[in-house]
């Protein structure tokens, strides 16, 4: 591996530690994967054994005596049992050998890494000590040199002052100090020289012997680990090989049995045993006694057409023709583009031949005589025959009546006020005929008079664009008509509803994000208007479902009017009203038509209805207020979202509202609605008077009994049990994110990180993750399930019974994470019972599969509470 020669640097050391950590994570991944494989193998072996047993239940069925298929099946299921035993044996061998070896290898690798890090630290500290000692000795040397220079200068000065006597007390003192300074300097010099020699040799020994030896040892241990690891993988390969001799032998037996099966012998014995004549046809006759008392008005096997039945017969005929059309389209898809049904040809330009609305008016098609047709096609042909027979009878009965006039008792169609909507049963109160000219009225009247046998599908095409509901009249302004400010349509359109402000329009959804809008638009023609911000400018957007979701920015003209591609109008409401009623596409390229306005949902509130009172907190996205709903005078809690936040964070903010709106549970904070009509957007929730559970625990610690703490744990478990049943992963369960309501009931809150999935994988990093509350598999691999919430619930229980203490006190996040990986678990809080602490430890199982689910946790807590 080259550690000794090229791995002595700091960067190589850090890389080696990271490599060892990665190897441990890989071993952990392999361990979990092998456990899952063994579990699936056992389950498969059990299921295969059960399948074999199920298949063998037919052994004593006398009706299958002599069946070669049953005999082959019996042999096959017996071999399934043998395969099941082999798979089960391989799974057990995999657990007893490969998995145990891998577990031992992980333990040894952790110890090896720890020893290497400690030894490397010792060597590095020795290098550091040597450098510090040399630096210290050099400093001492420098001080002695300075002292020596001073004493020498003083001695020379005193010596020169007394050139004759060369004596005196002061000169002697100076000479003595000068001598001492010389001795100290020489000693420091020698010590410094000796220390340098010592440091040089020590450094050479550490660099050329100790560190290479340590690195070489790591290389050998790494190779030994890789060798053992290879053995584990080989064991897994061998135990997972379905091409071994034993499996091939079983497969060969099964294939031989099936190949020797003779299909021509399957019914040989059965036919000989149960020879019988063909069955007689079943006839269905009209019971003539039913019409004996009708004075001849009702005849057997004949349809009665009069003012009591004509409308029903016409509706029934239309229904049958539509069914026939759908049936033949399905047959076309099954049989190919050339032939539909039995002998009915398709023409690409004119539809089906000889038909009204593409429906053949002749007698029902004959049933196919071949038995090689697919069953689905045969079923469609049988259904076609039944519908065609009924349609033929109705057409014949109506044709005898005549198609130019309706029978007596039918509605009078002579009035000139007949409109399109009246022809399909709409109430007069909901008809708008102002846009239909005299020619259209004539055509529609003619079509209605001929509707007993409609000549072509013109009726639907003509009436479609004009069908609409007229808007209710405004109480403040009388209904009026308008025309576009440019070359718009000549049709007059009622605009009483357009006089309302944009915010009051039911189809205006404010600043609701695009992702939320897409969820509301489901069918072609669904539309709504929303507001967005681009380059700090407010823009209105029309969102329409038309094949896919399309979004059109409302254009503004220099005159201040609004338009898309065509006519411009003084208000957006008028533009939308005209766009809906005219039947003109929003843009020619898109072809999108407006058919149904999607109103605001009940939980979409008006911002003006929310009166903010007192600021009670601060969240990740903005401030939290106590507020009042003006419409009901109800006090609520309101989370606001800062206006300056990017759209991505606003979508994340609204995610909490989207999740909460569908939940109703006493232990989940209740959503009242969201306000997105204008900025700032708000999430409105019930006001929980007790505030944060964490603050509640810390301020009332002395007054809380063990039973009260148990009740809080039970409340939290009840809420989480409900979320688990909805496949909701909270991901941030902690005392700070729970609220305390009346009677100290605990409610789960703060769903900003929640996801509605059985399994959620984090792919964008692990920022803002509550490390000390998060399960190891989520921290190490970014994998979240409800069992991750179980780990967090264990920490929440610890917070409750410690009455608000901080988990892993005194440890940094990284230190707590390391200790958890090595098996450390927090001790029981003071006064916590053994049963409760045992449940905490179960929640903190390192392997997620070993943790209890919330329905089990709730049962355990409830039993402890009731004791």
* Active-site residue set: 732
296 annotated ligand-binding residue? no
268 annotated ligand-binding residue? no
Rounded distance between C-alpha atoms, residue 463 and residue 444, angstroms: 9
Contacts 24+ apart (CB under 8 A), 774-782: 775/848, 776/817, 776/820, 776/821, 776/846, 777/848, 778/731, 779/817, 780/25, 780/28, 781/29
Give the per-residue SS3 of 308-372.
Answer: CCHHHHHHHHHHHHHHHHHHHHHHHHHHCCCEECCCEEEECCCEECCEECCEECCCCCCCCCCCC
Tell me how far the alpha carbon of residue 861 is from its chain's centroid. 30
* CA distances (Å), origin 159, targets 164, 167, 600: 10, 8, 107
Residues 559-596, buried b or exposed e (16+ Cβ, 10 A)?
eebbbbebbbbbbbbbbbbbbbbbbbbbeeebebbbbb
Neighbouring-strand partners of residue 747: 739
Six-digit token string for 499 = 């006089």
End-to-end CA gap in the chain: 62
Q: Taking Cα atoms as reference points, which of 699, 864, 847, 714 lies closest to residue 793?
A: 714
* CA distances (Å), origin 306, targets 82, 311, 313, 409: 74, 9, 10, 8
620 annotated ligand-binding residue? yes
Tell me how far the alpha carbon of residue 334 is from its chain's centroid. 36
624 annotated ligand-binding residue? yes
Neighbouring-strand partners of residue 614: 626
Q: Taking Cα atoms as reference points, which of 490, 501, 686, 468 lies closest to residue 580?
A: 468
Q: What is the CA radius of gyration of the chain?
A: 44
617 annotated ligand-binding residue? yes
Q: Taking Cα atoms as reference points, which of 565, 566, 585 lies closest to residue 488?
A: 566
525 annotated ligand-binding residue? no
Rounded distance between C-alpha atoms, residue 866 and residue 538, angstroms: 59
Count Cβ atoms within 10 A of the Cβ of residue 761 and give its class: 0-12 exposed, 13-18 middle, 19 or more buried: exposed
Residue with tokens 């989480």: 720
DSSP codes of every residue in 576-607: HHHHHHH---SSTTT-----EE-PPPTTEE-G
Neighbours of 550 (CB within 10 A): 18
863 annotated ligand-binding residue? no
Give the per-residue SS3 of 151-197.
Answer: HHHHHHHHHHHCCCCCCCHHHHHHHHHHHHHHHHHHHHHHHHHHHHH
639 annotated ligand-binding residue? yes
Q: Taking Cα atoms as reference points, which of 403, 404, 434 lies closest to residue 419?
A: 434
At 540, give phi and psi (nearest 5°).
Answer: -100, 140
Q: Taking Cα atoms as reference points, which of 644, 654, 649 lies closest to residue 682?
A: 654
Q: What letter would DSSP give residue 510?
A: T
At 575, give phi and psi (nearest 5°).
Answer: -60, -45
Please name the residues in contact with 804: beta carbons below 8 A apart, sequence gap of 6 or more: 694, 695, 697, 698, 701, 735
Q: What letter would DSSP give residue 806?
A: P
Angle at 730 between CA 738 and CA 795, to 5 degrees: 60
Give the per-residue SS3 of 33-88.
Answer: HHHHHHHHHHHHHHHHHHHHHHHHHHHHCHHHCCCHHHHHHHHHHHHHHHHHHHHH
Q: Taking Cα atoms as reference points, which of 583, 377, 279 lies closest to residue 461?
A: 583
Residue with tokens 């530690």: 17
Tell me how far the alpha carbon of residue 746 is from its chain's centroid. 27
Binding-site members are: 616-624, 639
Binding-site members for ATP are: 616-624, 639
């Amino acid at each position: 591996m080259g550690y000794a020669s090229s791995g002595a640097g700091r960067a190589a050391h850090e890389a080696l530690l990271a490599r060892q950590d990665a190897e441990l994570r890989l071993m952990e991944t392999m361990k979990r994967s092998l456990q899952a494989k063994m579990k699936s193998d056992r389950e498969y072996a059990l299921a295969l054994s059960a399948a074999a047993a199920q298949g063998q239940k037919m052994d004593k069925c006398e009706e299958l005596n002599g069946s070669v298929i049953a005999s082959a099946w019996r042999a096959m299921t017996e071999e399934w049992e043998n395969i099941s035993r082999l798979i089960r044996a391989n799974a057990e061998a995999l657990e007893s050998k490969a998995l145990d070896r891998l577990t031992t290898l992980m333990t040894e690798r952790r110890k090896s890494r720890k020893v290497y890090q400690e030894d490397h630290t010792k060597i590095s500290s020795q290098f550091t000590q040597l450098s510090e000692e040399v630096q210290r000795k050099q400093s001492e040397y420098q001080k002695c040199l300075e002292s020596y220079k001073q004493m020498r200068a003083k001695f020379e000065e005193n010596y020169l002052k007394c050139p004759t006597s060369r004596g005196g007390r002061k000169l002697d003192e100076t000479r003595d100090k000068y001598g001492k300074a010389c001795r100290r300097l020489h000693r420091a010099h020698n010590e410094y020289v000796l220390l340098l020699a010592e440091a040089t040799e020590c450094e050479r020994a550490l660099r050329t012997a100790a560190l290479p030896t340590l690195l070489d040892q790591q290389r050998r241990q790494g190779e030994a680990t890789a060798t053992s690891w290879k053995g584990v993988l080989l064991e897994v390969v061998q135990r997972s090989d379905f091409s071994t001799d034993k499996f091939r032998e079983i497969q060969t037996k099964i294939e031989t049995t099936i190949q020797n099966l003779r299909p021509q012998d399957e019914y040989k014995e059965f036919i000989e045993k149960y020879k019988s004549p063909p069955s007689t046809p079943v006839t269905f006759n009209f019971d003539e006694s039913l019409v004996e008392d009708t004075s001849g008005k009702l005849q057997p096997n004949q349809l009665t057409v009069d003012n009591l039945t004509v409308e029903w017969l016409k509706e029934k005929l239309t229904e049958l023709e539509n069914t026939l059309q759908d049936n033949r389209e399905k047959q076309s898809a099954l049989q190919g583009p050339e032939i539909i049904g039995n002998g009915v040809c398709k023409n690409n330009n004119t539809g089906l031949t000889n038909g009204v609305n593409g429906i053949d008016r002749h007698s029902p098609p004959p049933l196919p005589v071949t038995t090689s047709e697919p069953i689905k096609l045969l079923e469609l042909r049988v259904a076609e025959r039944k519908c065609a027979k009924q349609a033929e009878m109705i057409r014949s009965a109506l044709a005898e009546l005549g198609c130019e006039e309706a029978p007596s008792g039918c509605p009078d169609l002579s009035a000139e006020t007949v409109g399109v909507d009246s022809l399909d049963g709409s109430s007069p109160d909901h008809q708008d005929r102002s846009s239909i000219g005299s020619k259209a009225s004539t055509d529609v009247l003619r079509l209605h008079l001929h509707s007993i046998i409609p000549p072509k599908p013109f009726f639907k095409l003509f009436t479609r664009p004009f069908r609409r509901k007229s808007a209710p009249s405004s109480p403040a302004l009388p209904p009026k008509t308008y025309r576009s400010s440019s070359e718009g349509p000549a049709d007059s359109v009622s605009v009483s509803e357009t006089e309302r402000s944009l915010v009051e329009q039911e189809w205006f959804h404010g600043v609701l994000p695009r992702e939320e809008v897409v969820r509301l638009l489901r069918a072609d023609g669904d539309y709504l208007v929303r507001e967005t911000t681009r380059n700090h400018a407010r823009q209105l957007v029309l969102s329409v479902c038309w094949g896919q979701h399309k979004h059109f920015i409302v254009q503004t003209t220099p005159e201040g009017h609004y338009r898309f591609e065509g006519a411009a109008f003084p208000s957006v409401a008028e533009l939308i009203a005209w766009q809906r009623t005219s039947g003109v596409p929003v843009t020619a390229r898109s072809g999108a038509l407006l058919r149904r306005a999607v109103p605001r949902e009940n939980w979409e509130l008006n911002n003006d209805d929310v009166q903010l009172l007192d600021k009670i907190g601060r969240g990740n996205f903005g401030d939290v207020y106590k507020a009042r709903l003006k419409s009901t005078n109800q006090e609520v809690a309101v989370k606001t979202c800062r206006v300056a936040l990017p759209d991505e964070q606003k979508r994340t903010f609204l995610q909490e509202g989207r999740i909460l709106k569908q939940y109703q549970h006493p232990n989940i904070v209740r959503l009242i609605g969201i306000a997105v009509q204008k900025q700032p957007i708000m999430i409105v929730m019930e006001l929980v008077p007790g505030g944060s559970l964490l603050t509640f625990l810390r301020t009332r610690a002395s007054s809380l009994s063990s039973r009260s703490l148990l009740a809080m744990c039970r409340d939290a478990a009840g809420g989480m049990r409900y979320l688990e049943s909805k496949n909701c992963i909270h991901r941030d369960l902690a005392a700070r994110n729970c609220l305390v309501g009346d009677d100290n009931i605990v409610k789960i809150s703060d769903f900003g990180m929640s996801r509605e999935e059985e399994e959620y994988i984090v792919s964008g990093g692990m920022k803002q993750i509550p490390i000390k509350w998060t399960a190891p598999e989520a921290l190490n691999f970014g994998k979240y399930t409800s069992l991750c919430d179980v780990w967090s619930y264990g920490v929440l229980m610890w917070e409750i019974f410690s009455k608000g203490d901080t988990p892993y006190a005194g440890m940094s996040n990284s230190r707590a994470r390391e200790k958890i990986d090595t098996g450390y678990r927090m001790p029981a809080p003071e006064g916590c019972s053994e049963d409760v602490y045992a449940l905490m430890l179960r929640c903190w199982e390192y392997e997620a599969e070993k943790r209890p689910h919330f329905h089990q946790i709730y049962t355990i807590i409830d039993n402890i509470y009731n004791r």
